[in-house]
Structure 1
Amino acid sequence: MGDRVDIRPLVVGDYRAVGRIFFCAVHEGTRGAYNDEQRLAWGGETIDLDRWKERLEALNGFVAEMDGEPVGFFTIDPTGYIELSFVLPSATGLGVGRALLREAERWAKDRGAKRLTTEASLVARPFFLKNGWHVVKEERVGRRGVTLARCKMHKALG
Protein backbone atom coordinates (compact mmCIF):
# COMPACT_ATOMS: atom_id res chain seq x y z
CA MET A 1 0.00 0.00 0.00
CA GLY A 2 1.39 3.40 -0.97
CA ASP A 3 1.73 6.39 1.33
CA ARG A 4 -0.50 8.76 -0.61
CA VAL A 5 -4.06 9.20 0.65
CA ASP A 6 -6.53 10.55 -1.91
CA ILE A 7 -9.90 11.88 -0.76
CA ARG A 8 -12.97 12.02 -2.97
CA PRO A 9 -16.72 12.43 -2.43
CA LEU A 10 -18.69 9.41 -1.28
CA VAL A 11 -21.14 8.11 -3.89
CA VAL A 12 -23.88 5.47 -3.75
CA GLY A 13 -21.72 3.18 -5.88
CA ASP A 14 -19.29 2.95 -2.95
CA TYR A 15 -21.72 0.78 -1.00
CA ARG A 16 -19.69 -2.43 -1.42
CA ALA A 17 -16.44 -0.78 -0.29
CA VAL A 18 -18.15 1.08 2.57
CA GLY A 19 -19.83 -2.10 3.78
CA ARG A 20 -16.51 -3.94 3.74
CA ILE A 21 -14.63 -1.14 5.51
CA PHE A 22 -17.31 -0.92 8.21
CA PHE A 23 -17.45 -4.69 8.69
CA CYS A 24 -13.67 -5.09 8.93
CA ALA A 25 -13.25 -2.04 11.18
CA VAL A 26 -15.90 -3.27 13.62
CA HIS A 27 -15.02 -6.97 13.62
CA GLU A 28 -11.22 -6.67 13.43
CA GLY A 29 -10.32 -3.13 14.43
CA THR A 30 -12.25 -3.00 17.70
CA ARG A 31 -11.19 -6.38 19.14
CA GLY A 32 -9.31 -4.78 22.03
CA ALA A 33 -12.24 -2.61 23.10
CA TYR A 34 -15.38 -4.67 22.49
CA ASN A 35 -16.05 -8.36 23.05
CA ASP A 36 -17.32 -10.82 20.42
CA GLU A 37 -20.97 -10.33 21.37
CA GLN A 38 -20.67 -6.54 21.15
CA ARG A 39 -18.90 -6.60 17.79
CA LEU A 40 -21.50 -8.98 16.37
CA ALA A 41 -24.36 -6.80 17.63
CA TRP A 42 -22.73 -3.70 16.15
CA GLY A 43 -21.39 -5.06 12.88
CA GLY A 44 -23.75 -7.94 12.12
CA GLU A 45 -22.90 -11.42 10.92
CA THR A 46 -22.47 -10.45 7.27
CA ILE A 47 -22.20 -7.32 5.15
CA ASP A 48 -25.72 -6.20 4.27
CA LEU A 49 -25.04 -4.67 0.84
CA ASP A 50 -28.68 -3.71 0.20
CA ARG A 51 -28.76 -1.77 3.47
CA TRP A 52 -25.50 0.02 2.66
CA LYS A 53 -26.70 0.96 -0.80
CA GLU A 54 -29.91 2.39 0.67
CA ARG A 55 -28.04 4.24 3.43
CA LEU A 56 -25.59 5.89 1.05
CA GLU A 57 -28.45 7.40 -0.94
CA ALA A 58 -29.15 9.70 2.03
CA LEU A 59 -25.59 10.44 3.23
CA ASN A 60 -22.88 12.95 2.34
CA GLY A 61 -19.29 12.11 2.95
CA PHE A 62 -15.86 11.22 1.72
CA VAL A 63 -13.87 8.14 0.80
CA ALA A 64 -10.13 7.79 1.32
CA GLU A 65 -8.22 5.77 -1.26
CA MET A 66 -4.69 4.46 -1.35
CA ASP A 67 -3.45 3.10 -4.66
CA GLY A 68 -7.00 3.48 -5.99
CA GLU A 69 -8.50 1.23 -3.29
CA PRO A 70 -11.02 2.56 -0.74
CA VAL A 71 -9.53 2.27 2.76
CA GLY A 72 -11.73 4.57 4.83
CA PHE A 73 -14.80 6.78 4.83
CA PHE A 74 -16.53 9.53 6.82
CA THR A 75 -20.11 10.73 6.54
CA ILE A 76 -21.10 14.25 7.56
CA ASP A 77 -24.19 16.43 7.45
CA PRO A 78 -24.35 20.23 6.97
CA THR A 79 -24.58 20.80 10.75
CA GLY A 80 -21.17 19.16 11.19
CA TYR A 81 -22.40 15.83 12.55
CA ILE A 82 -20.11 12.94 11.62
CA GLU A 83 -22.28 9.84 11.76
CA LEU A 84 -19.85 7.26 10.41
CA SER A 85 -16.03 7.28 10.53
CA PHE A 86 -14.26 4.05 9.70
CA VAL A 87 -10.83 3.02 8.40
CA LEU A 88 -9.66 -0.47 7.44
CA PRO A 89 -7.50 -1.92 10.22
CA SER A 90 -4.70 -2.42 7.69
CA ALA A 91 -4.72 1.33 6.95
CA THR A 92 -4.77 2.71 10.49
CA GLY A 93 -1.84 4.90 11.43
CA LEU A 94 -1.22 5.93 7.81
CA GLY A 95 -2.95 9.33 7.92
CA VAL A 96 -6.23 8.12 6.42
CA GLY A 97 -8.41 9.30 9.31
CA ARG A 98 -6.60 12.65 9.48
CA ALA A 99 -7.09 13.25 5.76
CA LEU A 100 -10.80 12.38 5.99
CA LEU A 101 -11.24 14.59 9.05
CA ARG A 102 -9.56 17.58 7.33
CA GLU A 103 -11.89 17.21 4.35
CA ALA A 104 -14.96 16.87 6.61
CA GLU A 105 -13.92 20.00 8.54
CA ARG A 106 -13.48 21.97 5.32
CA TRP A 107 -16.83 20.76 3.98
CA ALA A 108 -18.66 21.64 7.23
CA LYS A 109 -17.07 25.12 7.43
CA ASP A 110 -18.11 25.82 3.84
CA ARG A 111 -21.70 25.11 4.89
CA GLY A 112 -21.57 27.38 7.93
CA ALA A 113 -21.16 24.76 10.66
CA LYS A 114 -19.62 26.14 13.86
CA ARG A 115 -18.57 22.79 15.29
CA LEU A 116 -18.26 19.12 14.53
CA THR A 117 -20.00 16.46 16.60
CA THR A 118 -19.95 12.68 16.71
CA GLU A 119 -20.52 9.63 18.85
CA ALA A 120 -17.13 7.94 18.90
CA SER A 121 -16.40 4.31 19.71
CA LEU A 122 -13.83 3.50 22.37
CA VAL A 123 -11.38 2.84 19.53
CA ALA A 124 -12.09 6.15 17.72
CA ARG A 125 -12.00 8.27 20.89
CA PRO A 126 -8.16 8.57 21.05
CA PHE A 127 -8.03 9.57 17.36
CA PHE A 128 -10.55 12.34 17.86
CA LEU A 129 -8.88 13.55 21.09
CA LYS A 130 -5.53 13.72 19.29
CA ASN A 131 -7.16 15.90 16.62
CA GLY A 132 -8.53 18.56 18.97
CA TRP A 133 -11.87 17.05 19.96
CA HIS A 134 -13.36 17.00 23.46
CA VAL A 135 -15.51 14.43 25.23
CA VAL A 136 -18.96 15.81 26.06
CA LYS A 137 -20.09 12.67 27.85
CA GLU A 138 -19.62 8.94 27.92
CA GLU A 139 -22.71 6.89 27.22
CA ARG A 140 -24.01 3.39 26.76
CA VAL A 141 -26.21 2.46 23.81
CA GLY A 142 -28.07 -0.69 22.87
CA ARG A 143 -27.54 -2.60 19.64
CA ARG A 144 -29.60 -5.73 19.08
CA GLY A 145 -30.03 -6.19 22.83
CA VAL A 146 -26.34 -5.67 23.64
CA THR A 147 -24.86 -2.63 25.43
CA LEU A 148 -21.94 -0.74 23.88
CA ALA A 149 -19.90 2.13 25.34
CA ARG A 150 -19.19 5.25 23.29
CA CYS A 151 -18.48 8.96 23.74
CA LYS A 152 -20.34 12.02 22.55
CA MET A 153 -17.61 14.36 21.31
CA HIS A 154 -17.28 17.75 19.66
CA LYS A 155 -14.76 20.13 18.13
CA ALA A 156 -15.21 23.86 17.57
CA LEU A 157 -14.51 25.05 14.04
CA GLY A 158 -12.53 28.27 13.79
Structure 2
Amino acid sequence: MSEITIRKFATEDIASTAQLFFKSIHRGAASHYTKEQRDAWAPEIPTPEDWQKRLADAATWIAEAGGKTIGFMSLCPNGYLDLAFVHPDWIGKGVAARLYEVLEAYARTSGITALDSDASLLARPFLARQGWEVIAEQHPVRHGVPLTNFRMKKKLN
Protein backbone atom coordinates (compact mmCIF):
# COMPACT_ATOMS: atom_id res chain seq x y z
CA MET A 1 0.00 0.00 0.00
CA SER A 2 1.29 3.46 -0.93
CA GLU A 3 2.00 6.12 1.65
CA ILE A 4 -0.86 8.58 2.16
CA THR A 5 -0.04 12.28 1.87
CA ILE A 6 -2.34 15.21 2.63
CA ARG A 7 -2.05 18.54 0.86
CA LYS A 8 -4.12 21.62 0.02
CA PHE A 9 -6.45 21.52 -2.98
CA ALA A 10 -5.15 23.03 -6.23
CA THR A 11 -6.99 23.93 -9.44
CA GLU A 12 -5.50 20.83 -11.07
CA ASP A 13 -7.56 18.72 -8.62
CA ILE A 14 -10.94 19.74 -10.04
CA ALA A 15 -11.36 16.75 -12.35
CA SER A 16 -10.02 14.11 -9.94
CA THR A 17 -12.15 15.31 -7.00
CA ALA A 18 -15.31 15.60 -9.13
CA GLN A 19 -14.77 12.03 -10.36
CA LEU A 20 -14.02 10.81 -6.84
CA PHE A 21 -17.21 12.48 -5.55
CA PHE A 22 -19.26 10.61 -8.17
CA LYS A 23 -17.47 7.27 -7.66
CA SER A 24 -17.69 7.49 -3.88
CA ILE A 25 -21.44 8.01 -4.02
CA HIS A 26 -22.11 5.34 -6.62
CA ARG A 27 -19.71 2.69 -5.32
CA GLY A 28 -18.76 3.66 -1.78
CA ALA A 29 -22.26 4.47 -0.58
CA ALA A 30 -23.88 1.52 -2.36
CA SER A 31 -24.36 -0.41 0.88
CA HIS A 32 -26.20 2.53 2.49
CA TYR A 33 -28.27 4.06 -0.33
CA THR A 34 -30.30 2.50 -3.13
CA LYS A 35 -29.33 2.96 -6.78
CA GLU A 36 -32.27 5.36 -7.18
CA GLN A 37 -31.02 7.42 -4.22
CA ARG A 38 -27.43 7.46 -5.48
CA ASP A 39 -28.59 8.49 -8.96
CA ALA A 40 -30.60 11.34 -7.42
CA TRP A 41 -27.71 12.42 -5.17
CA ALA A 42 -25.18 12.47 -8.01
CA PRO A 43 -26.83 12.03 -11.41
CA GLU A 44 -23.55 12.75 -13.21
CA ILE A 45 -19.96 13.82 -12.59
CA PRO A 46 -20.05 17.56 -11.83
CA THR A 47 -18.80 19.80 -14.63
CA PRO A 48 -15.46 21.54 -13.98
CA GLU A 49 -17.28 24.89 -13.84
CA ASP A 50 -19.88 23.70 -11.33
CA TRP A 51 -17.26 21.95 -9.22
CA GLN A 52 -15.00 25.01 -9.18
CA LYS A 53 -17.96 27.10 -7.94
CA ARG A 54 -18.76 24.52 -5.25
CA LEU A 55 -15.20 24.57 -3.92
CA ALA A 56 -14.40 28.25 -4.51
CA ASP A 57 -14.89 29.52 -0.95
CA ALA A 58 -13.98 26.33 0.90
CA ALA A 59 -10.67 25.23 2.36
CA THR A 60 -10.15 21.82 0.80
CA TRP A 61 -7.56 19.12 1.42
CA ILE A 62 -6.59 16.23 -0.82
CA ALA A 63 -5.38 12.79 0.25
CA GLU A 64 -3.09 11.11 -2.26
CA ALA A 65 -1.41 7.73 -2.54
CA GLY A 66 0.75 6.66 -5.44
CA GLY A 67 0.07 9.97 -7.18
CA LYS A 68 -3.71 9.42 -7.20
CA THR A 69 -6.44 11.30 -5.36
CA ILE A 70 -7.92 8.91 -2.79
CA GLY A 71 -9.95 11.35 -0.69
CA PHE A 72 -10.80 14.96 0.03
CA MET A 73 -12.59 17.15 2.57
CA SER A 74 -13.76 20.74 2.37
CA LEU A 75 -14.63 23.24 5.07
CA CYS A 76 -16.59 26.43 4.46
CA PRO A 77 -15.53 29.63 6.27
CA ASN A 78 -18.55 29.33 8.61
CA GLY A 79 -17.42 25.90 9.89
CA TYR A 80 -19.67 23.81 7.63
CA LEU A 81 -18.01 20.53 6.59
CA ASP A 82 -19.43 20.39 3.07
CA LEU A 83 -17.64 17.51 1.37
CA ALA A 84 -15.94 14.44 2.84
CA PHE A 85 -15.27 11.63 0.38
CA VAL A 86 -12.87 8.70 0.23
CA HIS A 87 -12.27 6.42 -2.74
CA PRO A 88 -14.23 3.17 -2.19
CA ASP A 89 -11.01 1.10 -2.28
CA TRP A 90 -9.57 3.19 0.56
CA ILE A 91 -12.52 3.24 2.97
CA GLY A 92 -11.48 2.01 6.41
CA LYS A 93 -7.76 2.64 5.83
CA GLY A 94 -7.37 5.87 7.78
CA VAL A 95 -7.77 8.32 4.89
CA ALA A 96 -10.78 10.14 6.37
CA ALA A 97 -9.11 10.33 9.79
CA ARG A 98 -5.97 11.91 8.30
CA LEU A 99 -8.01 14.44 6.33
CA TYR A 100 -10.23 15.24 9.29
CA GLU A 101 -7.24 15.83 11.59
CA VAL A 102 -5.95 18.52 9.22
CA LEU A 103 -9.42 20.03 8.75
CA GLU A 104 -10.12 20.33 12.48
CA ALA A 105 -6.66 21.77 13.21
CA TYR A 106 -7.26 24.37 10.48
CA ALA A 107 -10.68 25.22 11.94
CA ARG A 108 -9.22 25.73 15.39
CA THR A 109 -6.37 27.96 14.18
CA SER A 110 -8.86 29.93 12.06
CA GLY A 111 -10.96 30.77 15.12
CA ILE A 112 -13.90 28.59 14.15
CA THR A 113 -15.63 27.53 17.38
CA ALA A 114 -18.05 24.92 16.04
CA LEU A 115 -18.35 22.60 13.07
CA ASP A 116 -21.57 21.39 11.49
CA SER A 117 -22.54 19.16 8.59
CA ASP A 118 -25.32 17.23 6.94
CA ALA A 119 -23.73 13.79 7.20
CA SER A 120 -24.64 10.79 5.08
CA LEU A 121 -25.43 7.39 6.54
CA LEU A 122 -21.82 6.46 5.77
CA ALA A 123 -20.26 9.61 7.29
CA ARG A 124 -22.36 9.64 10.46
CA PRO A 125 -20.43 6.93 12.37
CA PHE A 126 -17.08 8.41 11.32
CA LEU A 127 -18.03 11.87 12.59
CA ALA A 128 -19.46 10.40 15.80
CA ARG A 129 -16.04 8.81 16.45
CA GLN A 130 -14.54 12.30 16.08
CA GLY A 131 -16.80 13.64 18.84
CA TRP A 132 -19.67 14.99 16.73
CA GLU A 133 -23.26 14.73 17.91
CA VAL A 134 -26.41 14.15 15.90
CA ILE A 135 -28.79 17.09 16.12
CA ALA A 136 -31.51 15.67 13.84
CA GLU A 137 -32.24 12.99 11.28
CA GLN A 138 -33.21 14.61 7.99
CA HIS A 139 -34.91 13.46 4.81
CA PRO A 140 -33.95 15.83 2.00
CA VAL A 141 -35.48 15.22 -1.41
CA ARG A 142 -33.22 15.34 -4.46
CA HIS A 143 -34.68 15.05 -7.95
CA GLY A 144 -37.90 13.76 -6.36
CA VAL A 145 -36.15 11.02 -4.36
CA PRO A 146 -36.02 11.11 -0.53
CA LEU A 147 -32.61 10.52 1.07
CA THR A 148 -31.55 10.21 4.69
CA ASN A 149 -28.82 12.25 6.33
CA PHE A 150 -28.05 13.68 9.74
CA ARG A 151 -27.55 17.23 10.92
CA MET A 152 -24.43 16.95 13.08
CA LYS A 153 -22.38 19.39 15.12
CA LYS A 154 -19.18 19.57 17.11
CA LYS A 155 -18.09 22.40 19.43
CA LEU A 156 -14.38 23.15 19.25
CA ASN A 157 -13.81 25.23 22.41
TM bucket, shorter chain = over 0.9
Per the TM alignment, residue 155 of structure 1 is displaced from its structure 2 partner at its CA by 1.4
Which amino acid is 2:60 matched to?
G
Aligned to 1:56: 55
Larger deviation: 59-68 or 96-105? 59-68
Distance 1:85 1:68 in 2: 19
Cα distance in 2 for partners of 1:46, 1:26 equals: 10
Match of 1:45 in 2: 44
Spell out, residue by residue over 1:87-133, the C-alpha distance to the aligned partner (whole angstroms, 9 max, x if none): 00101111110011111101111111112111100011111111211
* Alignment partner, residue 27 of structure 2: 28
Alignment of 1:1-158 (within 5 A): 1-2=1-2, 4-158=3-157
Report the identity percentage: 36
Alpha carbons 1:71, 1:88 under 8 Å: kept = yes
Kindly state the Cα deviation for residue 50 of structure 1 after the two structures are TM-superposed. Answer: 3.4
The change in CA–CA distance for 1:62 and 1:46 in structure 2 (over 3 A counts) is closer
Over the aligned positions, Cα root-mean-square deviation in angstroms equals 1.4
Query: How far off is 1:65 after superposition?
Result: 0.9
CA shift, 1:46, in A, is 4.1
List per-residue Cα deviations over 1:54-90 (Å, max 9, x = no partner). Answer: 3333332111111221110111023221011100010
Q: Please list the CA deviations of residues 120-147 of structure 1 after superposition, one character each: whole Å capped at 9, or x if unmatched.
A: 0001111111121110110010111111
Residue identity in the other structure for 2:68: E
Give the Cα separation in 1 of the matches to 2:44 and 2:67.
28
What is the aligned length?
157
SS of alignment partner, residue 111 of structure 2: coil
- Does the C-alpha gap of structure 1 residues 77 and 54 become closer, same or farther in structure 2, counting only changes over 3 Å? closer
Shift of 1:9: 0.8
TM-score, normalised with respect to structure 2: 0.93
* Contact 2:55–2:74 (8 Å) recurs in 1: no
TM-score by length of 1: 0.92
